[in-house]
Amino acid sequence: MTDFTEAADLTELSAVRLLDGYRGGEFSPVEATRAALARAEEVQPELNAFVRLLAGDALEQARASEERWRRGEPRGLLDGVPVTVKDILLLRGAPTLRGSRTIDPAGGRWDEDAPSVARLREHGAVFLGKTTTPEFGWKGVTDSPLSGVTRNPHDPTRTAGGSSGGAAAAVARGAGPLALGTDGGGSVRIPAAFCGIFALKPTYGRVPLYPASAFGTLAHVGPMTRDAADAALLMDVIGVPDSRDWSALGPAPESFTAGLAGGVRGLRVAYSPSLGGQVAVRPEVAAAVRRAVERLAGLGAYVEETDPDLADPVDAFHTLWFAGAARVVQRLTREQRERLDPGLREICGAGARYSALDYLAAVDVRVDLGRRMGRFHERYDLLVTPTLPITAFEAGAEVPKGSGHRRWTGWTPFTYPFNMTQQPAATVPVGTDADGLPVGLQLVAARHRDALVLRAAHALYEAGVPASGATPGGG
């Protein structure tokens, strides 16, 4: 099994292609895992995408998978595929430190998988390691007191985004084709857009979450992948009920992979370049997104430039988000609080001052927003926006220098509203700016229409928007 690996780099292959290779005997899970681990070790000093690599465990899992493939008895849909897990989600046998120095690695038994991780294990996936997160996933960039700054694979002086920044950087540089991230206000879509990969925030409850997030029903688990086909495959594995999550949805009506076919012909697409002028979008970003929208029209979609009835809900989001952050740290001692990220400590203070009535008023805003988006999707199958109005800025900062923004929500106005409405939303890379930094397009559909989002994204990939498979940094 060496001819293929001498001719091509296994780290450049999607999960779908790896599985085809295992099935045809071109290469093995052990070869793919060794390649992914080597790439992770190579890029870690530059990008800081991992808090923990699990090389020994991963190779043991890969050898077991290789034996199953040799017998013609693969365990499941992802047998032998290397994956990474954001260090917010439980992974049996490894501490989950959530980017915080307040969590003692020796203080827990670490003997339970999160639901999505458990499904991956049941399907034979190979766990490469845990990826970086800001402390408790609180912001849209990835740096923490525990693990430092995670950097962009296209330019290490820039941020990878967050809060699933390590996952995005790992996938972009070939350290595993599949990653699990979490998204409470854009946290799979933001880093995916900055790093030039695909990510889906599913409908709330489609992927079960346990333990429950302190950020409540804003928090989603989602796939971060090389393309939409890989995300659909991953959703077929993780998008099933788990008894530990009382808010989880029932089984999906069909396979997400099977639903990829069909294209976008006849779909009603609303294109909102700036949410009705509310968002100042960088010209290079706007141009790249518009070109991709024109391609959707060329594929047969009925595209109309129009805006949803969407007044910026940032104040209500802050109430919900800051209150959730305060809940995260509620049981910490004064000494432990002093060790927190200063920005997190600040929003926790604000969150602790909200009353129950303040919180319920924010819920009312959320309910009304959901109602308006529900009515909007009676007229349109999909909403298309930029994922972000900018490309990646300097690493180590919460907001771009000179932007005037106080918090990360100032530069993410296209992402957090759809956590409030619980809708499925994906980001697709659709080009780069003059500095070679990726631009993302966001696809949004009505609740429960995750398969439609994946189908439209897949149509863009099939049409060559974007060209997939490139590895930034040349290695």
Q: Which residues pair with 305 in a beta bridge?
A: 271
- Buried (b) or exposed (e) across 244-278, using 16+ Cβ within 10 A? ebeebbeebeeebbebbeebbeebebbbbbbbeee
d(CA 293, CA 382): 12
Question: 116, 164, 187, 272: which one is catalytic?
Answer: 187
Q: Is 144 a catalytic residue?
A: no
d(CA 375, CA 367): 13
Containing 128, the helix (H) or strand (E) segment is strand 126-131
**DSSP type of residue 14:** -
Closest C-alpha to 444, from 271, 277, 209, 195:
271
Question: 163, 164, 213, 272: which one is catalytic?
Answer: 163
d(CA 82, CA 11): 10
- Are residues 116 and 89 in contact, defined by beta-carbon separation less than 8 angstroms? yes
Centre a 10 Å sphere on the Cβ of residue 145 and count the other Cβ atoms it contains: 16
Backbone angles phi, psi at 51, to 5 degrees: -95, -20
Question: 14, 28, 65, 86: which one is catalytic?
Answer: 86
Q: Is 187 a catalytic residue?
A: yes
Q: Is 139 a catalytic residue?
A: no
Omega cis (within 30) before 241: no
**DSSP type of residue 206:** S
Active-site residue set = 86, 163, 187
